[in-house]
Structure 1
C-alpha cells in the first residue's frame, strides 16, 4: 500500500486522575526515527511509546509530544527528617555549651532549616500512566496513518501518471533507434556510391551498417527498463513499506536511460531521452515521499 511519510495525529485519554494528550508529527526520512518529549520521570513510558509506534509505521521522522493535565490535585503529605532535626539540636546544644546563646529556635526557623521538612506529592501509578499512554498513542497513530494513507493515494496517482508518460517516451526511443539504423544505411550508401565502384558498394555498406547497429543497439537497455517498470507496478500493489525499493528502481532506470543516451545516434531519440530523464526525476521526487 502506498503511504506518504508526512502527517499528523492526535490522541486524548481521560481518567479520574489525568487527561493525557499525545501528538505525533511525521516528515520524510530515509529510516524510522522517533523523537519524544516526555516528562523526565517517564523514561519507561517513553520507551514503551517508541516501541508501540515502531509497529505502526516503517519510515519517517516522528516528533512525539505528550501533555499531561491533572483532573484533580493529587494528595500531598509533609515529611519530617527527624534524624536531621536531632542532628541540628545536638549542634545547637554543642554551640550553647561553648557560646553564650540564650535565644531558642522558633518554629519558623526550624521549618526553614534545609531538608528538614519536605512536601511529597502522591505519584500516579505506573500501570495507570502506561494504560493511558497506550490508548492516546493508539488513537494518535491511527489518525496519523489515516492521513498518510490519504496522501499516499495522491502519490500513487502521480507516480502512475508519470510512469505512463515515461513508457510513452521509451516507445519513442525504441522506434527511433530502429529507424536510426536504416537512416544511417541510406546515408552511408549514398556516400559510398560517390567514392567506390558499384560492385563493392553493397559489401562496404553491410559492414559499416553492422558495426553501427552493434554500437547503437539498445535492446538490452529497453528490456531492463521494461522489467523495472513491471517491478514498479508490482511494488505499488505491495502491502509493506515500498519507498526504498521504489527509490532503488528509479536509480536503476536512470542508469539505463543514461546508457541509451550515450549510445544514441539520432536527434529524435536524444529528445526523447531528455524528456524521459525529466519525467523520471519527477517520479523520483514523488517516490521519496513514500513510506
Structure 2
C-alpha cells in the first residue's frame, strides 16, 4: 500500500463546558518525528496522544495543534492586597487631614489599581476534557490518513507509469547488448586489414573480441535491473510502510545503470542509460514522498 507522508486533518469535539480543536499536519521526514502543541493542563496526556497517533502515522514529521475553548477550561479568583489597600486608605486620610484637600476617593478608584486587585486565571483539566481531546485527535488522524492514502494512490499511478517506461528501456538495452560485441569485431577486423594488407590473424581477432566481450558484458546488470523492477512492483503491494525499502531499491537500480554506462562503449546503449537514469531520478523524487 502506498501512503504519502504529506497530509492534513482537523477535527472538533465539544461538551457543555469544553470545545476542543485538533489539527494534524504531516510532511516528509526520514523518521517519525512528532511535535505536539497544546495547553499546559493537557501535557500529562501527551504520551497518550503520541501513542494514538503512532497507530496512524509511521513516518514523517508530524505537527499537532490542540486548542481549547470554553468557560470550563479556566477558574478565576480575585486577589486583593489588603495590607497595601490599608496603607492607601491611611495615606488618603492623612492627606485630607494635613492639607485639607477637597475631593473624594471612591471605592472604584482604589479597586482599579492593578497592584491592589487582580484576577488570577487557572487552567483546569479533568477526565471529560481529556476524553474530548483524544476523540478529536482520533478523528483528525483518520481524516489525515484518508488524505495520505488518496495522495498515495496518485503517487502509485505515477510510479507504475515510470516503471513501465523503465522496463521498455531495459528491454531496449538487452537488444543492443549483443550488437556491441559484433560492432567491435567489425571495427577491429577493418583496422587490422588496413595494417596488414588483408592478411588477418583470425585467432588474434577472436582473442581480442573475447576480451572485449567479457569487459563489455552487461547481461548480469540487465538481469539485476529487471529483478529490481519486479521487487519494486512487489513492494508496492505491501501493507507495511515501504518508503525506505523503495528508496534502497532505486539506489541499487542506479548502481546497475552506472555500471552499464561505464562498461558499454556504444552510443545506443549510452542513450538508453541516460534515459534510464532520468527515469530513476523521477522515481527517487516520488519515493521521497512515501511513508
Structure 1 segments unaligned to the other structure (5+ residues): 93-99, 101-105
**What CA RMSD, in Å, does the superposition of the two structures yield over aligned residues?**
3.2
Q: CA 1:166 to 1:135, structure 2 compared with 1: closer, same or farther past 3 Å?
A: same
**Partners of 1:28 and 1:122 in 2: CA distance:** 38
Equivalence for 1:159: 159
The aligned counterpart of 1:267 is 267
The 1:194/1:121 distance shift into structure 2, 3 A limit, reads: closer
Give the Cα–Cα distance (whole angstroms) in 2 for the partners of residues 212 and 87 of structure 1: 101
Task: Indicate conservation of the 8 Å contact 2:8/2:25, yes or no.
Answer: yes
Measure, in 1, the Cα distance between the counterparts of 2:111 and 2:36.
Answer: 39
8 Å Cα contact 1:189-1:201 kept in structure 2: no
Deviations 1:173-222 (A, max 9, x none): 12212111011112222332343487752101110100100110112212
User: Which TM-score applies when normalising by structure 1?
Assistant: 0.84
* SS of equivalent residue, structure 1 residue 42: helix
Secondary structure in 1 matching 2:36: strand
Matched pairs, number: 288
Does the 8 Å CA contact 1:45/1:133 hold for their aligned counterparts? no
Equivalent position SS for 1:41 = helix
Counterpart in 2 of 1:288?
A: 288
Q: Which residue of 2 is the match for residue 9 of structure 1?
A: 9
Q: Within 1, Cα distance between the matches of 2:192 and 2:122?
A: 101
- 2:172 corresponds in structure 1 to 172
**Is the contact made by 1:216 and 1:265 (CA closer than 8 Å) also made in structure 2?**
yes
Asked if the contact 2:13/2:132 (under 8 Å) is kept, the reply is: yes
Gap runs ≥5 in structure 2: 90-97, 99-105
Q: Which residue in 2 is equivalent to 1:150?
A: 150
| Aligned partner of residue 290 in structure 2, secondary structure | coil
Question: Hey, what does 2:102 align to over in structure 1?
Answer: none
1:32 alignment partner in structure 2: 32
Instruction: Give me the whole-angstrom Cα distance separating, in 2, the residues matched to 1:265 and 1:57.
Output: 48
User: What is the correspondence of 1:116-131 to structure 2 with a 5 Å cutoff?
Assistant: 119=119, 124-131=124-131
Alpha-carbon distance in 2 for matches of 1:49, 1:150? 24
Q: Does the Cα contact within 8 Å between 1:193 and 1:201 map onto a contact in 2?
A: no
TM-score by length of 2: 0.84
Task: Kindly indicate whether the alpha-carbon contact (under 8 Å) linking 1:74 and 1:121 is maintained by their aligned counterparts in 2.
Answer: no
Mean CA deviation greater in 171-180 or 154-163: 171-180
